[in-house]
Structure 1
Amino acid sequence: MISRRGLMLASAAAGLVAFAPSAIGQVPASLDTLPASAPVRRFGLTAREIEARLMGPDGPVTRHVCAYDGALFKIVRAPRGTRLAVDFENLLPDPTTVHWHGVRGPYLSDGVAPLTQDVVPPGGRFSYNVPLPDAGLYFFHPHCDETGQVGRGLFALLVVDDPAEQKVGFDAECFIVVKDWRLASDGQWLAMSTDEGAANAGTFGTVRATNGQITAPRVEVPAYGDVRVRTIVADATRVIDLGCDTDDAFILAVDGQALPPVSFKALPDDIWRMGPAMRLDMQVRMPGPGQEVKIYDYRSSEPYLLTTLVAVDKGKAKTPLRAKALPQPKVPLPDLKSAKRLDYLLQVSAGPTIVSPALPADDPLSKALVSSLCVGSTTHWAISRDSWATDEALRLPPPLATLSNGTSYILSMSNVTKHVHPMHLHGHVFRVLSSSKKKMPQYLADTVMVEPNETVEIAFKAVSGNWVFHCHILEHMDTGLMGWFKVV
């Protein structure tokens, strides 16, 4: 049975939902993104530990692997316009939550303790209301001990299908999940985070893998066919330069949001840079029977093979190449003419610092503490001198700013560090406007890469709630590079 709180969430129409004070304080109005009449798919979801052979079928068994429903790389699919009513149970030995990455839903189901809920303790339950107003590739993962739990495999893909996409006519679909493992030679876990890694580019895995395999998958697809390749970087640290060894490839969507097709040949160095949590849909036109297309990460010292597409004769005739445009997104777009500006620095920090005005004393969140199990042990990073809580200081920091629901904002991020930062804004799809260093098409996303000494501008229409904004290199987030916006 779904909880009473879950039923309250799931019954919400598009509009305002008021909640009484609770363990998380007096909460702002929560906006739903689907009407009450939307079809509901109710299912249970568990997080638990399993054993797996992550170093290959002949390798050692790794214990304490984390997975949803006991299955690594689980895929949940649902049609656009569906509401997921998810009854979650935590069977892990540690607290956790579930964050629905990139999904525009009510913030009370966003999975961020203590802003939207308390942590779910071992043996505990929580009901999530997850409306799916937008088609695309998303995923879900914990937002407590994220470095450790995601590092050990706790995430799943969420594919939201649009019936209109059937008219586009792909001949095959292929998923590429970039996820490394931090394993010793005996197959057991190394520390997921180190002080040296957290203060720099992150602590990298010792075993590279695609879709959980240490050898690149080989996928048979129709010769002369158009393949939809859907790539996600589910790793806590790794940044890749995605490309392939054919000129017949196009970008179709970023973070699930369609854009007019862009040829890889039109991109600098024929690659698209992706960091943790970023997704990309691409179209690959296959050559004749027996030939192959190889998809690489070109950011490695030697190109790292992610997947090989093998052309198999399925009786399909060769046709002229044409980019296949996906249906355009129907997300709220910012009004750039009336937008207000927000300017932030992404910077290093010598310790926990706060410069933003404190919350009013009568706001229950002013006294909220962040669980020490959900953060790192020390502070290395800050957003304009505001650092998220760590073991050094577990008090929830004040919001970076208080915004107005329905108002458009242009947010400028200047990276004054020597490392990349893939920045993610919860609860919103934003428009990437510009970069001070590179030429790029304008596109919609929920996570954007900010390079060293680069300023990137994004624009969004604010939605009521408490929303975090953070680097998705998970150790950076855990050691200070996260803040939040209160939208009222």
Structure 2
Amino acid sequence: MTKSGAMLSRRAFLLAGATLGTGSVLAPSQTSEARVLPSAVASRTVALSAGEMDLHLLGPDKPATRIFAYDGEPFRLIRAKRGEQIEFTFDNHLSEGSTVHFHGIRMPNEYDGVPTLTQPVVQPGGRFVYRIPFNDPGTFFFHPHCDETGQVGRGLAGVMIVDDPRDPKFDAEHILCLKDWRLAEDGTYLAMSEPDGASKAGTYGATRTVNGVPTLDLKAPANSDVRVRILNLDSTRVMDIGVEGADAALIAIDGHALPPIPLDKLPDGIWRFGPAQRIDLHIRMPEAGKSVQIGDYRAADIYHFATLTAEPSDKRKRPFRALALPAAKLPQPDLKRAEQSTFTLQQATDAAVKETGLPPDDPLAKALIDSLCVGSTTYWAISQESWPTGDKRNVPPPLARMVEGKSYRVTIKNGTRYPHPVHLHGHAFAVIDSSSGRLPKHFADTVLVQPDETVDIAFVAASGDWVFHCHILEHMEAGMMGWFRVV
């Protein structure tokens, strides 16, 4: 059955009545899409559909692979202007249910794309309308939040760029989407998840691509300033990004500007990031005829995924000074008054899925998570609490209850032997400390927590039910996910 518009859940309706006054932004209806008051009317409408297409991932002379994509475009690119609000009409043309999560975007909770918690699954042939405000400039992306290992594993992800007229002028820009694929020699898929991978570092793909091809040969004017946006859209792989042959600086993390840091001032001259994380680099091109290589240096077999060749230009060679991006206007946490919480990332067993539930009068107490949106086995937990797996489909209690507008400092401890990129929906948080000392202070929506490392983040809580999870997709689906309730 086709549903037009975003259906506001009874949970959201009750919370809105309890916490929002007559000055609330949204005036919801339980029978139609949530209405936005005139001050927040969408500036335009964008059609977005999930479907299948063929792509020659193994090479032009090799068998094609049937991938998932939005609107028949691998890693579909959508650009918005800072301050825009866009109405996305999402149509699901897949043979299974799906949703859309706009990763890293601060938005009303009902459009967050998390099945059961914020919306129903959009069934095959179904429709859902999202109203997304783009108040923060930067590099973001969008993807499903149900059967992510399967759907993202087959390529269902798009790029969301929010342009800012305050940005400095670059001479060129390149967007690089990194993703591995689990492919057999005939182009068909291997199992997206294997127990040995799901219970450890994750199940890796052997076919590595950038923008759907093995490598990219790009061009830019000699001595010019190039902005390179790099997105880790893989389900599993942690990467060490480095640049050879040119001066380069890190100018944004997860879309948010930070004071430029020359790459050679970072530990080992690389930036380590996990699935779902993004970086923006400023690269100063060398003289004409010379080339710049961008690669992943984490493995002994370096993966140089892009080469930029300098073409003749009238630009003169000059000292490199990185161009700073304008800072986003983000809520600033008050660290002196912030309430402290600690969450430990752990390995677990099925016993970690406790029988404790929500209070009987909670609107979500009897809600069942769609069977497509839970994993089969529990391997992971957050502070001895695991997201349901297998036949346990009841929504668990929140990891924490918070108050809208209040500042929170959250310590994330990694008690495992594997790295975990931890993502908090609906917020841009400040990364304020790490036990390893390797992280600069910056804003992000996902932070990579290394084995035995402790990372402190802080944020101003926004109203809603927001999930908090590892973005190695198998880890999330095998229990390493919880949620915060903010009222």
TM-score for the superposition, normalised by structure 2: 0.93
Q: How far, CA to CA, are the matches of 1:14 and 1:119 in structure 2?
A: 30
Report percent identity of matched pairs.
Answer: 50
Counterpart of 1:185 in 2: which secondary structure? coil
Find the counterpart in structure 1 of residue 131 from structure 2.
129
For 2:60, give the aligned amino acid: P
Structure 1 residue 317, shift from structure 2 partner = 2.0
Deviating more after overlay: 232-241 vs 314-323: 314-323
Letter in 2 for 1:121: Q
- Three-state SS of the structure 2 residue aligned to 1:180 is strand
Match of 1:102 among 92, 101, 104: 104
1:228 alignment partner, SS class:
strand
Q: Deviations over 1:250-271 (max 9, x none)?
A: 0100000001101111111001
CA distance in 2, matches of 1:36, 1:357: 42
Q: Write the mapping of 1:41-440 to structure 2, written as runs, cut at 5 A.
A: 41-63=44-66, 65-165=67-167, 168-214=168-214, 216-246=215-245, 248-354=247-353, 358-440=357-439
Q: How big is each residue's C-alpha offset from its partner over 1:421-475, in whole Å with a ceiling of 9 and x where there is no partner? A: 0000000000001111233210000000001101100000000000000000000
1:465 is matched with which residue? 464
Q: 1:406 & 1:428 partners in 2: Cα distance?
A: 12
Q: 1:401 to 1:420 in 2, by over 3 A?
A: same
Give deviations 1:207-226, integer Å, cap 9, x for gaps: 11111102x10100010001
TM-score scaled to structure 1, two decimals? 0.93
Q: Structure 2 counterpart of 1:51, which letter?
A: D
Amino acid at match of 1:267: L
Name the CA shift for 1:136/1:2 in 2 (closer, same or farther; >3 Å): farther
Distance 1:52 1:356, change over 3 A: same
Q: Whole-Å Cα distance in 2 between the matches of residues 477 and 117 of structure 1?
A: 19
For 1:319 and 1:381, the matched residues in 2 are separated by 51
* Distance across 1 between alignment mates of 2:237 and 2:159: 18
Conserved in 1, the CA contact under 8 Å of 2:245 and 2:286?
Answer: no
Quote how far apart the aligned CAs of 1:389 are. Answer: 1.2
CA shift, 1:36, in A, is 2.1
Relative distance call for 1:369 and 1:41 in structure 2 (3 A) is: same
Unaligned segments of structure 1, at least 5 residues:
24-29
Contact 2:8 2:30 survives alignment (8 Å): no
Is this contact kept in 1: 2:353–2:388, CA < 8 A?
A: no
SS in 2 for 1:36: helix
Q: CA deviation at 1:195?
A: 1.1
Distance in structure 2 (CA, Å) of the matches to 1:20 and 1:451: 44
Tell whether 2:39 aligns with 1:36.
Answer: yes
TM-aligned CA distance change 1:17 to 1:356, over 3 Å: farther
Q: Distance in 2 between matches of 1:369 and 1:263?
A: 49
Distance in 1 (alpha carbons) for counterparts of 2:187 and 2:5: 43
Distance in 1 (alpha carbons) for counterparts of 2:421 and 2:80: 27
Partner secondary structure for residue 231 of structure 2: strand
Change (3 A) 1:22 1:41: closer
Moved more, 126-135 or 384-393: 384-393
AA paired with 1:48?
G
The match for 2:475 is 476
Distance 1:212 1:244, change over 3 A: same
Structure 1 residue 37, shift from structure 2 partner:
4.5
Per the alignment, residue 27 of structure 1 pairs with none
1:191 Cα offset (Å): 1.1
Q: Distance in 2 between matches of 1:394 and 1:112?
A: 14
* Pair 1:88–1:312, CA change in 2 (3 A): same
* 8 Å CA contact 1:100, 1:140 repeated in 2: yes
CA distance in 1, matches of 2:24, 2:342: 30
Does 2:20 match 1:17? Answer: no
Q: Deviations over 1:379-399 (max 9, x none)?
A: 000000110011141111110
Q: Deviations over 1:336-366 (max 9, x none)?
A: 1100001011000011525696422111201
Q: Distance in 1 between matches of 2:232 and 2:458?
A: 24
> 1:446, 1:268 → 2: CA distance?
22
Q: For structure 2, which runs of at least 5 residues remain unmatched after alignment?
A: 13-19
Alpha-carbon distance, 1:330 to partner: 0.5
Q: CA RMSD in A?
A: 2.4
Residue in structure 2 matched with residue 26 of structure 1 by the alignment? none
Deviation at 1:41, TM superposition (A): 1.3
* Paired residue type of 1:116: T
Distance 2:259 2:68 in 1: 38
Distance in 1 of aligned mates of 2:200 and 2:3: 43
Number of matched pairs: 475
SS at match of 2:365: helix
CA distance in 1, matches of 2:285, 2:271: 20
Q: CA deviation at 1:22?
A: 8.2
The CA deviation at 1:286 is 0.8
